[in-house]
Amino acid sequence: MSLSRRELFRGGLAATGVGALTLRADALPTLPSGTLTHYPEFQVLADAPLPFVAPAVQLPASTKPTEDNILGPYFREGAPFRAKVTPPLVKGTTMLIRGRVWGFDTKKPLANAVLDIWQADANGRYDNDDPKNPPAKGVYVNRARVLTDETGYYEYETIHPGAYKTGPDTWRPAHIHYLVRKAGYANLVTQLYFKGDKFNDKDQFIKASLIITLEQAKVAGGTIETGVFDVVLAAAQKK
């Protein structure tokens, strides 16, 4: 049986009849690696000053649930859990987005919320926007899922998505799609937009509350964009 690496990690061993994994009896603990002196480019990234997201304990009482937005035609279930949405070294301006997921009812952060993230590439293309050339099964480009930690915090690296035409004279501004799910709360489908995009004022779907301001940060001799996008979920309606 031929298995991809992803299938292997998602249960392929069981499919081959191999039992539970067991560490070899003669295996030794992994030794600490010390500093990142052998990889200075990673140390620069780790030390770079980025906007701080304060570990707030509670939301202000005036905060409202995050507004929804259209799902769009390009959503795909099953994207892998990873912190980098786009493939390595792709064209585009590197961007780091971070934030927290909150419960509107408790005004407290939600741990273990799942965020589906998907977007267009720098040219405004999705991996599944060409019916004649669909992505291979199990291949997800410009898509990821991320999980909030015990403080409701999440972050991911990506590139600034490109705008794209939806008609002869209409464009969609740069945006990133979100589907946020957490047990006990209503699923939220929304989008993240960026202040200053030239197509914002002409888009029929954009909502002002979903627009964030990007900051510039110096990293390893270059510049990246950083932004904060908090998500507030409404409690699920009781049946």
State both tokens at 61: 């009482």
Instruction: For residue 93, give the nearest of 227, 191, 184, 2 by alpha carbon.
Output: 227
Identify the pLDDT of residue 220. Answer: 77
Residue at token pair 């990690």: 9
Give backbone dihedrals phi and psi of 182, rounded to 5 degrees, phi first.
-155, 130
CA angle 67, 73, 78 (to 5 degrees): 85
Q: Which CATH superfamily is domain 31-233 in?
A: Aromatic compound dioxygenase (2.60.130.10)
Which residue ranges make up each domain of the chain? 31-233
Q: Give average pLDDT by consecutive 10-residue segment, the chain, 239 residues.
A: 49 50 75 54 52 62 93 96 95 96 95 98 96 94 97 96 93 98 98 97 96 92 92 92
- Residue 159: count other Cβ atoms within 10 Å of its Cβ: 22
Using only C-alpha atoms, the chain has a radius of gyration, in whole angstroms, of 20
